[in-house]
Structure 1
Amino acid sequence: MRNLKGYIGSLDNPRVKAWAKLLERKHREREGKFLLEGVHLVQEALAAGWPLEAIAFDEGSEVLDQFESFMDDEEMNEEGSDVPWFPVSPEIIAKCSETGTPQPIFAIALKKPPSAESLFGAESGLVAVLDGVQDPGNVGTIVRSAAASGATAVVLGKGTVDLYNPKTIRSTMGALFHVPVLEADLTTLLPQASARGVSIVGTSLQAAKSCYDYDFRESNVWLIFGNEGSGMSEQVSVLAHANVIIPMTGRAESLNVAMAATVLLFEAQRQRGQ
């Protein structure tokens, strides 16, 4: 096995203490790192060439059987080829996990958020913009839908839950590694986008225009999705060029924000013939 390190069994080990601190946002922000818990997320990060600082696994488990292609592949990407693998005790796995029954492997990943300028490089951009979406599951699902529908980026505005929250990361199911996601002040970024010719489309239950009547084939479209309870904030809603609604013929007050985002992103994909 490549780059196998010595066994760590003590919860007092300085490396373990530093890993466990990443469960808290302030330490993630200070260190520029975050935790990836579980087989699927670690596999996705390795496959995508995401920069990893370390991988820790339960020495008594058979989890490494699921990573043979990553551990021995001499042609592995530059970022993942020399990642240190640490055999650790089950207690350490539990200490560095937020779940009650953690999987026997986790990784320490480095943040690499894209710049705001990267949003404007696509010829036919489709960007999901989140304004105060607070549920980690909703944010993770929207990131997954954005990646699956071919969106070019996801923007998290102020008041939106931390992307690197372990619950949010788990909800992305690895889609985080396949679509650029960045945090920004929407009151600053949206006017910049507008000045560059981007069509900014809000979502509102009070809108008169159906999403199926909106032309998403325009060169660059940004879709804004608001808070679960209150929708778009007043400061952001005034920056939208148009508002659309998802027509509902059945009886429901509204759709969950992640469901609504999925419908709109895939309608845009359909119209664009992707």
Structure 2
Amino acid sequence: MEIMSPQNARVKEWAGLLEKKHRDKSGKYIIEGVHLVQEALLAEANVEILAYDIEKGMPAELNGLLQSVPGMETIAVSPAVIAKCSSTNTPQPVFAVVRKPRESAEAALDKPGSLVVVLDGVQDPGNVGTIIRSADAAGADGVILGRGSADLYNPKTIRSTMGSMFHLPIVEADLAEILPQARQRGVLLVSTSLQGVDSCYSHDFRSGSQWLVIGSEGRGISPETAAQVDKSIIIPMKGRAESLNAAMAATILLFEAMRQRGD
């Protein structure tokens, strides 16, 4: 099948997925570029449509993966269609429309010895995507996005994950509900604070399930979330920087936890 006109009704629907209100309404989102589409297909994500630039042809990297998602529609489109559905100034030659997964926090709550990252109002899409990527790299069991955090399906967030969003469970949840549930099941909630007594290097990450709570770039974690936290630890710094951004702090904690756990 081919679609050449950017005024086509289906193209307008795809382009609409660049906006959150349309993603929320349809339960779908758009990913751009060979690497992200490849990761989605390898992870057997629910890819509904794969569109590629008719002038450049199907990227060779994807040829062997086209049968991995049953029912996926493959459509050749014009460069004008590609441009209309792109969030960047230099559009990639391929994009895909993907159905959002229905992730539940139950898996993270029930897994013994879990390591989970919890984001409380982290608004920068680049930071959210980077934290997801670090969580994937460190072998974490999931990421929970609290209200007020950047939308997982924002094109900037998606690009920043570099495909890691397809490798581990990511759950959007109300922290006021899920954090008390976690504590009832024995999860230790840990956050960073400049007033922390233990450093992240003396804290024991090996005992039981631990969820690392990361706050917003400007104000840290909310008072409501802080009331749930069991322990605050500090990331020691020798230089004159006042603090680290959310993604840097999360990455340091994740890799120290990975080192201690011997994973």
TM-score band, normalised by shorter chain: over 0.9
Tell me the distance in 1 between the aligned counterparts of 2:99 and 2:207: 35
Tell me the distance in 2 between the aligned counterparts of 1:20 and 1:28: 10
Q: Equivalent residue for 2:62?
A: 67
Asked if residue 203 in structure 1 is aligned to residue 198 in structure 2, the reply is: no
Tell me the distance in 1 between the aligned counterparts of 2:166 and 2:209: 22
Asked if residue 33 in structure 1 is aligned to residue 28 in structure 2, the reply is: yes
Query: Percent identity at matched positions?
Result: 55
| Residue pairs, 1:1-274, within 5 angstroms | 6-71=1-66, 76-77=67-68, 80-274=69-263
Q: Structure 1: which 5+ runs fail to align? A: 1-5
How many residues matched? 263
Instruction: Specify the SS of the correspondent of 1:229.
Output: coil
After TM superposition, give the deviation of residue 201 of structure 1 in Å.
0.5
The alignment's TM-score, normalised by the length of structure 1, stands at 0.93
Tell me the distance in 1 between the aligned counterparts of 2:174 and 2:193: 21
Tell me the distance in 1 between the aligned counterparts of 2:26 and 2:57: 31
Tell me the distance in 2 between the aligned counterparts of 1:40 and 1:113: 23
What is the alpha-carbon root mean square deviation over aligned residues?
1.1
Instruction: Specify the SS of the correspondent of 1:128.
Output: strand
Tell me the distance in 2 between the aligned counterparts of 1:64 and 1:262: 33
Instruction: Specify the SS of the correspondent of 1:155.
Output: strand
Instruction: Specify the SS of the correspondent of 1:61.
Output: coil
After TM superposition, give the deviation of residue 255 of structure 1 in Å.
1.1
Q: 1:57–1:87: 8 Å Cα contact kept in structure 2?
A: yes
After TM superposition, give the deviation of residue 216 of structure 1 in Å.
0.5
Tell me the distance in 2 between the aligned counterparts of 1:121 and 1:84: 36
Encode CA deviations 1:103-137: one digit per residue, 9 max, x unaligned: 11000011003112121232210000000001000
Encode CA deviations 1:237-256: one digit per residue, 9 max, x unaligned: 11100001100122211111
* Matched letter for residue 206 of structure 2: R
Instruction: Specify the SS of the correspondent of 1:182.
Output: strand
Q: 2:48–2:71: 8 Å Cα contact kept in structure 1?
A: no
